[in-house]
């Protein structure tokens, strides 16, 4: 039924589903097949003592849908205890253009209704519910909008970022930005001021600057000479000498303790190469697509302010330095120095 309706141009689904009903793969496949439809979903975030892990499971389904749909999946959330969220015996539903499907929580019973009046009633009821709930994510694909989002969610006193490449943004000066933007096809304004402002925020962070990356991502930065979390339209290929200079500064700041940079152990912590993940203690969790994503960087960016998710990710970041998920500071410096030496040798032979 969903397959059939997804072929309808600009169809809309409104969902409130029991936790055991997973439609993530189905919707993802339809969006990746370039179907044009929208899904609004109401999610119940638990308030029990063990809520964080269960709420994280919801996020596990939300992120792929946001990415695959490029903003056409719109989740909203409310907080409630599990029992209060399912007081009705058929309290879960899918509202489609032509059908209303009601579910019991255990999925033992379902009812398909085609009454236009009933579908309209449920649709209006659902829309009113959304007005009382918070959007779980905010998605944008416009480069200028995304740069503004980067700026608006930045904190002047902390940066926590995890992605395969090391975060070298704090070493990109105004002159560097202007140099590479002049090579691109984009006009200097508004992008020059926006990019410069974005990187200036990173330069201002004097403590609590976390960059968790992989050795593979480090090697990719050196070989590809691209910043994966910036579109090539903004910053084309970097000069080898600039990459080397950025990495030397990173090494120095990790060594002095200004930056907490650690390399993930490849067998312990896998980082998807198509995402960069920021966590800000004030503004929440921010997920950006990179150049490795199938639709490119800045095509879909997810911003989540829900408190239990924010706290969970922040605690995870703070636990990393003492965990076996990452190499020690000394081992990270050793690996970083090794790659810098190789890069310098490569530059000298040219």
CATH number of residue 65's parent domain: 3.30.870.10
Q: Are 101 and 118 in contact (CB under 8 A)?
A: no
Domain stops at, among 135, 158, 181? 135
What is the reported pLDDT for 187?
67
What mean pLDDT comes out for the span 231-248?
Answer: 86
| Domain shared by 268 and 303, yes or no | yes
Contact by Cβ (8 Å): 216, 335: no
| Shared-domain flag, residues 300 and 213 | yes
Least confident range of 34-38, 164-168, 212-216: 34-38
Number of domains the chain is built from: 2
93 shares its domain with 179:
no
pLDDT in tens, 48-103: 767 777 778 888 888 888 888 878 899 998 887 555 555 567 889 999 999 999 99
Are residues 201 and 124 part of one domain?
A: no
Residue finishing a domain among 135, 169, 204? 135
Considering the domain architecture, whether residues 51 and 80 belong to the same structural domain is answered as: yes
User: pLDDT value at position 249?
Assistant: 96
pLDDT of residue 157: 74
Residue 23 confidence class, pLDDT cut points 50, 70, 90? confident
Q: What is the rounded distance in angstroms from the CA atom of residue 44 to the CA atom of residue 82?
A: 8
Domain range spanning residue 40?
Answer: 2-135
CB 269 within 8 A of CB 142: no
pLDDT of the residue at 188: 65
- Could you report the per-residue pLDDT of 6-18, keeping only the tens digit for each? 777 788 999 999 8
Pair (169, 318) in one structural domain: yes
The reply to whether 115 and 148 lie within a common domain is no
Cβ density class 300-336: b for 16+ within 10 Å, e for less:
bbbbbbbebbbebbbeebeebeeeebbbebeebbeeb
Mean pLDDT of 207-223: 93
pLDDT higher than threshold 80 for residue 113: yes
Residues 119 and 177 in one domain: no
- Report the percentage of the chain scoring pLDDT > 90: 39
Top mean-pLDDT range of 54-68, 103-117, 168-182 = 103-117
H, E, C per residue of 258-269: CCEEEEECCCCC
Average of pLDDT values for 158-176? 89
Q: How far apart are CA 73 and CA 31, in angstroms?
A: 10
**Long-range contacts made by residues 193-196, C-beta under 8 angstroms, separation at least 24?**
194/144, 194/147, 194/148, 194/151, 195/147, 195/234, 195/235
Judgement on whether residues 291 and 147 belong to the same structural domain of the protein: yes
- Calculate the dihedral angle through the C-alpha atoms of 287, 289, 294, 298, rounding to the nearest 10 degrees: 130
Together in a domain, 154 and 102: no
Q: What is the CATH number of the domain that holds 227?
A: 3.30.870
């Amino acid at each position: 039924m969903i397959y059939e309706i997804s072929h309808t141009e600009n169809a809309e689904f409104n969902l409130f589903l029991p936790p055991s009903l997973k439609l993530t793969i189905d919707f993802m496949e339809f969006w990746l097949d370039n179907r044009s439809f929208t899904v609004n979903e109401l999610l119940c975030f638990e308030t029990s003592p063990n809520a964080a892990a269960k709420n994280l499971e919801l996020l596990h389904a939300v992120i792929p849908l946001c990415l695959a749909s490029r903003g056409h999946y719109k989740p909203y959330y409310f907080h409630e205890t599990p029992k209060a969220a399912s007081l009705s015996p058929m309290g879960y539903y899918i509202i489609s253009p032509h059908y209303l499907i009601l579910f019991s929580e255990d999925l033992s019973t379902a009812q398909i209704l085609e009454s236009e009046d009933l579908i309209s009633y449920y649709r209006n009821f659902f829309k009113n519910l959304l007005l009382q709930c918070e959007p779980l994510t905010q998605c944008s694909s416009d480069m200028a909008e995304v740069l503004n989002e980067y700026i608006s969610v930045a904190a002047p006193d902390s940066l926590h970022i995890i992605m395969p490449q090391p975060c070298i943004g704090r070493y990109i000066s105004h002159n560097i930005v202007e140099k590479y933007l002049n090579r691109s096809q984009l006009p200097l304004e508004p992008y020059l001021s926006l990019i410069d402002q974005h990187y200036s925020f990173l330069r201002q962070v004097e403590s609590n600057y976390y960059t968790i990356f992989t050795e593979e991502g480090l090697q990719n930065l050196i070989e590809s000479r691209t910043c994966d979390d910036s579109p090539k339209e903004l910053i084309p290929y970097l000069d080898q000498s600039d990459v080397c200079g950025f990495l030397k500064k990173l090494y120095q700041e990790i060594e002095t303790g200004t930056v907490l940079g650690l390399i993930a152990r490849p067998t312990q912590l896998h980082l998807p190469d198509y995402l960069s993940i920021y966590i800000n203690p004030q503004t929440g969790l921010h997920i950006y697509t990179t150049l490795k994503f199938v639709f490119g960087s800045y095509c879909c960016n997810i911003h989540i302010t829900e408190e239990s998710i924010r706290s969970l990710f922040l605690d995870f970041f703070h636990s990393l330095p003492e965990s076996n998920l990452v190499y020690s500071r000394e081992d990270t410096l050793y690996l970083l120095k090794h790659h810098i030496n190789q890069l310098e040798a490569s530059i000298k032979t040219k």
